[in-house]
Amino acid sequence: MSTPTLVMLKSDQPRGQLMDASQPLIMIEDQGLTRGDGVFETMLAANRKVRKFPAHYARLASSARLLDLPLPSQEGLQAALDLALEAADPGPQTLLGEEHTVKIIISRGTPHEGPHSWVTVSGSPASILKQREEGVKALLLPRGHDPAQDSAYPWLLAGAKTLSYAVNMSVLRHVRSQGADDAIWVTEDRRILEGATSSVIMARFEGDKKVLYTPEPSHGILPGTTQGAIFAGARKAGWELGYGPLYPQDLLQADALWLASSVRLLAPVTHLNGTPLAQDRALTQELMGYLAQG
């Protein structure tokens, strides 16, 4: 894998400075590293332009506020992103054009130097592009507790996109050991939450109504920018929108089910707990169209 293009932001470099990512740049006591104490955004750039940047910036601002971390200005961050994207190695060509995965990280930094942020850009991984085409096999797995209960306690950081993704990565290793690709979390009472790194979207045709459903985004799960953009476009196109609650039986009876996130876009769920699900390629294209408007 090639080294990502890196731009670091500092108080005296608010628009960022291009750095050599193959060099040691993070201190061993950086608390983003030692405690997962920081926030991030993962975004998709098509033809070297970040898609839905305002939505990502708004979520980054909300995450930073919850963790009491300083937020780079939108203008400074945009300049840093432009600098990194201009310098990046070529990315894969897809229907969207040239694709790159872009990350923004704000770390607590060292106790001595304090918080800092950086931006990385690398070509979108082939494994993710494949999921758009071939779909994913998903397993329903318990979340252990209902994250909606965390919402009342700001120190539990519900809805913040923190660097502490060890559990999200662990569940992916677990599903892969079971021959599946992804996980969908459920509460103890079997209510659907979200994927390990994605939002759940379901389509259902109810008489002459067409309805898109997703679990209520403000109830302890991450509000997905991809789900938000798709729902905004779908509403304009006459879809009705529903926000759950959804249960396993709803997903099994769906007319189509997807995992949605910024780099994956829409991955159709082909199997749920081993049961084949209905597939609708035309519908996936339709929803991709709404996403392109966002």
Residues contributing to the site for ligand PLP (CB under 6 A):
42, 194, 197-199, 222, 224-227, 260-262
Neighbours of 127 (CB within 10 A): 9
Q: Judged by CB, which is closer to ligand PLP: 59, or 110? A: 59
Closest separation in Å from C-beta 227 to ligand PLP: 6
Nearer to ligand PLP, 110 or 260 (CB): 260
For residue 194, the Cα-to-chain-centroid distance in whole angstroms is: 11
Q: How far apart are CA 258 and CA 198, in angstroms?
A: 9
Do 272 and 257 form a contact (C-beta atoms < 8 A)? yes
Least spacing, CB of residue 246 vs ligand PLP, in Å:
15
Handedness of CA 221, 222, 223, 229 (dihedral sign): negative
**Distance in Å, CB of 43 to ligand PLP, minimum:** 8
> At its nearest, how many Å lie between ligand PLP and the CB of residue 178?
20
Q: Let me know: does 234 contact 212? Beta carbons within 8 Å.
A: yes
Handedness of CA 192, 194, 196, 201 (dihedral sign): positive
Smaller CB distance to ligand PLP: residue 25 or 169?
Answer: 169
Q: In this complex, which beta carbon is closest to ligand PLP, that of residue 15 or of residue 130?
A: 130
What is d(CA 96, CA 263) in angstroms, rounded to the nearest whole number?
A: 12
Q: Which amino acid is at 132?
A: R
Instruction: Name the residue nearer to ligand PLP (CB basis): 110 or 193.
Output: 193
CB of 199 to ligand PLP, least distance (A): 5
Residues 6 or more apart from 89 whose CB is under 8 A from it?
A: 2, 5, 122, 123
Query: How near is the Cβ of 291 to ligand PLP at its closest, in Å?
Result: 10
The span from the CA of 252 to the CA of 227, in Å, is 20
Smaller CB separation from ligand PLP, 25 or 167: 167
Nearer to ligand PLP, 57 or 118 (CB): 57
Strand ranges for 173-234 from DSSP E: 182-186, 192-195, 199-206, 209-213
Beta strand 265-272 with 136-142: parallel, antiparallel or unpaired? parallel
Q: C-beta of 186: minimal distance to ligand PLP in Å?
A: 14
